[in-house]
Amino acid sequence: MVVWLVGEDGRRIRAIDPFVPTCYLAAPPSIREHVFRLLRRASCRISTREVERYELGAPCPISVLEVSVHAPAQFSSLTQHLIRACPDAQFFHVDVSLPQRYFYDRELFPLVHCEADLTAEGRIQSIQALESPWDTDYGFPPLTIMELSPDSPSPNPNHGGHGSFVVRMDGEERLLEGDDADVIQRLNQLLVRQDPDILLTDWGDSYLLPRLMIMADQLRMPLELNRDPHRSIGTRKPRSYFSYGRILSHAGARILSGRLHLDRHNSFALAETGLAGLIEQARIAKVDLQQMARTTTGTGITSMQLETACRDGLLIPYRKQEPEAFKSARELLQTDQGGLVFAPIVGYHEQVGELDFSSMYPSIMVRFNISPETINCPCCRDEPAARVPEIGHHTCRHRQGLVPRTLAPLLDKRVRYKRLMAAATQPAARAVLDQRQTALKWLLVVSFGYLGYKNARFGRIEAHESVTAYSRDLLLQAKEVAERQGYRMLHAIVDSLWFVKPGAVRADYNRLAQEITERTGLSIGLEGLYHWIGFLPSRVNPLMPVPNQFVGLFDHGAMKIRGIEIRRSDAPFLVKRAQAEVLRCLSQARMLAELREQIPQALEIVRIYRRYLHDGHATVEELAITKSLSKEPQAYRHQTLSMIAAQELLARGVSLQAGDTIHYIITDADAAYLPDRARAVAGLDGTWSYDVSAYDSLLLKAALVLLTPLGVTATSLNESTAGC
């Protein structure tokens, strides 16, 4: 295993750790004979021995063959060969990525402060961590960062608008110009001279690095992106995948050796939690930083569970095979439910308190010991306290499960970060703590989905069902406590509840939270007290309530906004800005009566924006609409605007896949000739104009959703703001 170390003297050292990965297999003697024959033909040293190991939740160990591969580079191909050759054998520990296995085995993690004993040739004799991944007071590692971006005005350089390259380091910015040979030469010089640890790019995976690699290849010039001269640049192809009911695209990857390549436009973790959050996730999950940046958060939580299993000596099955236990159709009807969502009481309300159960689902898993092997265990069948509410399952009261064992320290660390955040005086320090706790929040969020995910190693549908059953019961308990004290529940979504009671102040809501916590045993806190909050009606059918669509003004002055244009990526910037201004205007009001007084001013804002649109002043940036392609662009049957823009890009030779994001403006929504209806933003020249009425109606809709509950109708809005 190649391990890169930064010495105390600042030297970057390429070290080799003689790590021997193992896998296990269970098979009858005849198949084992076959395995031995295959292993004897392997080209590297392999040792085997009989051992006894436990499967998760099994009462007795099974006898398995432990296969140790003394050349880690051959581990994957060898195990894959075995799996193909022996389909009837059961394999374990075969598909966990080796860097992760190495971290688990040596009790290390990415960017760990450690002590190592090296030979003169760089072989690691011993290595141990000097800190724990659960520490909260670690600093940013002493790494140098070089930034590389395209010098292009286009929202996505892959969609057109090629330009030169910009390099930034230590606050200095250089433009790499000239012909291709000049660019490669200049970049190589900078890479060798500055020798950065992290190459932080914009569009590096999909555009910059592939382009640079092609340029260097054509010129037969070396490209010094890798620090490790022994390795080539790792590449992964782009692909589309489903996640939480949405199709997403992955731009592929360019992975460096001895240096970390992070692409700001191809990293969920980086975008959501920043560099500090990404590092926190990599440390906790023990997933290599370049991998963590590009993978789903689910990989992180899975890695944590795998580590728990490895540490406890459990076998990690290759394919999950255990299906759902039979249940009657009646039971299925009861169990196949999600969390409870109470439709909101539409309209504006004042002095409302929002109470949130903190990390509800993972907390339920820990508190009620929900894990694949603890659900419906044979030992606690008759214990009333082990019953899951409303459904027929029970959980184990005797042994803590793998999932709770994994999640408990994670929950604890997030609480510690939140406490440190509250006490932090420096804004910069608080920002770092916030990024780290957000990183942990994401790991906790996906931990629930992974209980029910079909390919999850330690998932089980009954565990998933039990969590939601508890959540429903807890939400109802919270409702009952509050209603007994005269509160009215306005809205509730799974783990958040909005209550109102005439005259109730902050202390009352805090007391309510305290009582619910005592009753349920699960921590609930006051997310905030609103001067007012408006639950907004559906735009399609005003009679139908829409959950999670509201605007609220907290008593500390901040606003909480959900589900409307300002939060949506597909709304044009101009519409978002208009909505933001209307909201700012409404936020002057502290009470409902004052809110109504703000209406004339809000209408005036709308009028000014409409005039701006009609006068033709709006710019591309203000008008661009961002949409994610929900299907392969070739598979669309209806000519939607995003489809027309996608066709335009395809015709220009841009490659697009489902999940890709495109940007367009509406040019003439009703044009008979379809390509005239919309234009892609990338590569837009001076010859375009926008569809005033299409944007005007988007603008009106964005204003109307806020003003309808205050008595403004579509007609009155249109008439009172026309004046142009």
Partner 1 sequence: MGRTLATFTQLVQQEIDSWSRYRRALRREDQQALDVLFAAARHHASAGAYLARETPFEVMLLSMLIEQQKHVVTLQQKVMTLETRMHHDSTQGMAS
Partner 2 sequence: MALVQQQAIEFLFRTEDGGAVIDAPRHLLAALRQSAVSTDQPKGLVLLSGPPSVYRLGLCAAVDRALAGEPVLYLAGANVFDPFLVGRLARASRVASAQVLQQIHVSRAFTCHQMVRLVTDCLLSALRTYDARFVILAGPLDTLYDQSVPEPEAMRLFRTMTEALQDMAYQGVQVLCVSPLAPPESGGRSRFMAALRAQARRAIDVCEAEDGLWLHEEGGPEPKRWMIPRPLWNRL
**Contact status: 5 vs partner 1 (CB under 8 A):** no
Nearer to partner 2 (CB atom), residue 83 or residue 221: 83
Residue 126: both structure tokens together:
């011993």
Nearest approach, Cβ of residue 333 and partner 1 (Å) = 5
Nearest approach, Cβ of residue 550 and partner 1 (Å) = 16
Compute the distance between CA of residue 467 and CA of residue 448 in angstroms, rounded to an integer. 8
In angstroms, what is the C-alpha Rg of the chain? 29
**Contact status: 325 vs partner 1 (CB under 8 A):** no
Residues whose CB is less than 8 angstroms from the CB of residue 414 and which lie 6 or more positions away in sequence, other chains included: 359, 437, 440, 441, 444
Nearer to partner 2 (CB atom), residue 239 or residue 311: 239
Site for partner 1, residues 357 to 376, rule: CB under 8 A:
none
Residue 551: which of 700, 343, 717, 706 has the closest Cα?
706
Compute the distance between CA of residue 710 and CA of residue 592 in angstroms, rounded to an integer. 9
End-to-end CA distance of the chain: 70
Residue 315: which of 88, 107, 91, 81 has the closest Cα?
91
10 Å Cβ neighbour count for 89?
18
For residue 326, the partner it binds in partner 1, partner 2, none, with Cβ less than 5 to 8 A by kind, is partner 2
Residue 50: both structure tokens together:
């009989």
CB 35 within 8 A of CB 48: no
CB 283 within 8 A of CB 111: yes
Residue 633: which of 652, 619, 616, 618 has the closest Cα?
652
Q: What phi, psi does 460 have (nearest 5°)?
A: -160, 130
Q: Binder to partner 1 among 333, 505, 671, 724 (CB under 8 A)?
A: 333
Q: Binder to partner 1 among 227, 261, 436, 472 (CB under 8 A)?
A: 472
Site for partner 1, residues 538 to 597, rule: CB under 8 A:
541, 543-545
Nearer to partner 2 (CB atom), residue 44 or residue 333: 333
Each residue 222-261 as x (binds partner 1 by CB under 8 A) or -, in order, gives -----------------------x----------------
Nearer to partner 2 (CB atom), residue 337 or residue 693: 337
Nearer to partner 1 (CB atom), residue 152 or residue 549: 549
Nearest approach, Cβ of residue 154 and partner 1 (Å) = 37
Q: What phi, psi does 152 have (nearest 5°)?
A: -140, 140
**Contact status: 342 vs partner 1 (CB under 8 A):** yes
Nearest approach, Cβ of residue 525 and partner 1 (Å) = 23
CA distances from 466 to 340, 392, 394, 494 (A): 14, 9, 8, 14
Which DSSP string do the residues of 418-462 spell out, in sequence order? Answer: HHHHHH--SHHHHHHHHHHHHHHHHHHHHHHHHHH-TT-TT--HH
For residue 327, the partner it binds in partner 1, partner 2, none, with Cβ less than 5 to 8 A by kind, is partner 2
Residue 416: both structure tokens together:
């510690």
Give the amino acid at 512. Answer: L
Nearest approach, Cβ of residue 715 and partner 1 (Å) = 18
Query: How many CA atoms lie within 13 Å of 184's alpha carbon, on the beta-carbon side?
Result: 19
Nearest approach, Cβ of residue 493 and partner 2 (Å) = 25
Using CB under 8 A, list all residues that contact partner 2: 84, 87, 319-330, 332-333, 454-455, 461
Nearest approach, Cβ of residue 492 and partner 1 (Å) = 8
For residue 541, the partner it binds in partner 1, partner 2, none, with Cβ less than 5 to 8 A by kind, is partner 1
Give the amino acid at 340. Answer: L
Nearest approach, Cβ of residue 334 and partner 1 (Å) = 5
Q: Binder to partner 1 among 461, 522, 678, 698 (CB under 8 A)?
A: 461
Nearer to partner 1 (CB atom), residue 223 or residue 345: 345
Nearest approach, Cβ of residue 336 and partner 2 (Å) = 9
Nearest approach, Cβ of residue 302 and partner 1 (Å) = 16
Sign of the CA dihedral with 376 first, then 62, 21, and 72 last: negative
For residue 323, the partner it binds in partner 2, partner 1, none, with Cβ less than 5 to 8 A by kind, is partner 2
Residue 396: which of 307, 463, 327, 487 has the closest Cα?
463
**Contact status: 118 vs partner 1 (CB under 8 A):** no
For residue 87, the partner it binds in partner 1, partner 2, none, with Cβ less than 5 to 8 A by kind, is partner 2
Give the amino acid at 582. Answer: V
Nearer to partner 1 (CB atom), residue 284 or residue 497: 497
Nearer to partner 1 (CB atom), residue 310 or residue 340: 340
The residues that touch partner 1, with contacts defined as CB under 8 A, are 245, 330, 332-334, 336-338, 340-343, 452-454, 461, 464, 472, 476, 492, 541, 543-545
